[in-house]
Amino acid sequence: MEETMENTNPAAATPPDEVDAVERNIEALSRQLGEAEAKLTEMRDTVLRERAEIDNQRKRLQRELEQARKFANEKLLGEVLPVLDNLERGLAVETADVTALRGGVELTLREFSRVVEASGLKAVGKVGEAFDPELHQAMTMVDSAEHGSGRIVMVMQKGYLLNERLLRPALVTVAK
What is the rounded average pLDDT of the residues 82-91?
84
Tens digit of each residue's pLDDT (9 = 90 or more) over 107-166: 889 998 988 888 889 999 999 999 999 999 999 999 988 888 999 999 999 999 999 999
Task: Give the whole-angstrom CA distance, residue 43 versus residue 36.
Answer: 10
Confidence of residue 63 (pLDDT cuts 50, 70, 90): very high
d(CA 111, CA 156): 23
Contact criterion met (CB below 8 Å) for 129 and 152:
yes
CA distance to 21, 76, 85, 102, 108, per residue, from 82 (Å): 91, 11, 5, 18, 9
Fill in the DSSP letter of residue 46.
H
pLDDT score of 42? 96
- Stretch 47-52: mean pLDDT, rounded? 96
Strands of 170-175's sheet, edge to edge?
A: 136-142, 170-175, 152-157
Contact 148/142 with Cβ under 8 angstroms? no
Cα separation values, 51 from 38, 118, 154, Å:
20, 44, 63
Per the model's pLDDT, the better-predicted residue between 134 and 100 turns out to be 134
Alpha carbon separation from 33 to 8, 27, 36, 39, 114 (Å, rounded): 32, 10, 5, 10, 74
Q: Give me the pLDDT at residue 13, please.
A: 66
Residue 17 has pLDDT above 90, yes or no: no
User: What is the pLDDT at residue 145?
Assistant: 85
Q: At what angle do helices 74-92 and 98-118 cross, to 10 degrees?
A: 180
Give the count of beta carbons closer than 10 Å to the beta carbon of residue 153: 19
What's the pLDDT at 82? 87
Has this prediction a pTM greater than 0.85? no
Average pLDDT score, the chain: 87
pLDDT of residue 10: 55
